[in-house]
Amino acid sequence: MPADRYAFHIPDHKVEYGVEIEISDLNIDPQAQRTLNERRAQAIADNIVPAAIGSIIVSQREDGSLYIVDGQHRWRACALCGMRTIRAEIHFGLTQAQEAMLFLIRNRESHKPRPIDEYHVGITGGVPLFVDTDRVLEKHSLSLGSTSANTIGAIAGVLNITDRYGAAILDRTLSVAEAAWGRSPDTWDGGLLGGIGMFLGRWGDLVDDKELGRKMLAMGPAYRWRSNIVSMSAVSGFGSRGTGPRVFTAYRLVADAWNKGRKAENRIEA
């Protein structure tokens, strides 16, 4: 896949800097923003230094309305302190989707939004990574959020499968997991999905998904896989270092399941 398939882009447009704006004139579009955290805003307000607030980023839409793209917590803190105006960097001519894209660009290297906020804003922005992922999840009647039988909590893990291997591999990953273990919170464990996705991403052309699902089920239910992965990762000394080692451990177990009963020349070397 092209290296820039999931890059973030916005068109060139007019921008004005250092403009004083009435706080009461500013609006929030929840589809193009992270969720406002009132406790965070109050903490900023409690220690606010007006001269150090800096500029927030605002989009002026075609009807003249002003929407905050980045800096809503500083805006809210200023309002809590009774301030009348705030300095802003104003962008003109952006669509709602482009506002969402600008938010993601500005926050990728700073105070990164929660994965679920980034996901929803990315869909609003029409970012292919998020749109492609959402399309696959909808096909499987799944959503992202707190893990349940129909919801996947491993948001970053799911996006990573799409980003590294493409939406088709995410589609196959979810199908194989459900074929093996049905729909349960354990089925949608991030380590398990990551391992299946890595295996299919590397060897998918050689694999029959239905056969893989049957062989994985024969090695035990999802909760047992999870327990084995945690134990194996801990023995290797990587148990507390994030999901990466658990994904690779799951990948090795998926390969073992696929190779079981196969002749040496037909096995996949993990």
Q: What is the pLDDT of residues 120-129, one digit of tens each?
A: 888 988 889 9
Q: What is the pLDDT of residues 227-262, one digit of tens each?
A: 999 888 766 554 444 457 889 999 999 999 999 988
Q: What is the distance between the alpha carbons of residues 100 and 122, in angstroms, rounded to a whole number?
A: 7
Let me know whether 103 and 133 are in one domain.
no
Range of the domain at 140: 127-266
Residues 84 and 167 in one domain: no
Using an 8 Å Cβ cutoff, are 28 and 103 in contact?
Answer: no
Give the end of a domain, one of 53, 77, 108.
108
Alpha carbons within 13 A on the beta-carbon side of 207: 27
Q: CA-CA distance, 250 to 198, in Å (whole number)? A: 9
Token pair for 268: 């996949």
The total number of residues shown for the chain amounts to: 270
> CA-CA distance, 214 to 147, in Å (whole number)?
24
Q: Are residues 160 and 227 in the same domain?
A: yes
Structural domains counted in the chain: 2
Domain boundary among 61, 80, 108: 108
Do 131 and 260 belong together in one domain?
A: yes
pLDDT at 222: 95
151 and 187 together in one domain: yes
pLDDT at 243: 58
pLDDT at 239: 45
Residue 235 has a pLDDT of 60
Q: Are residues 79 and 185 in the same domain?
A: no
Rounded to two decimals, the pTM is: 0.65
Low-confidence ranges of the chain (pLDDT < 70): 1-7, 109-112, 234-243
Residue 114, in any domain of the structure = no
Out of 47, 80, 108, a domain closes at 108
**38-55 tens-digit pLDDT:** 999 999 999 888 888 889
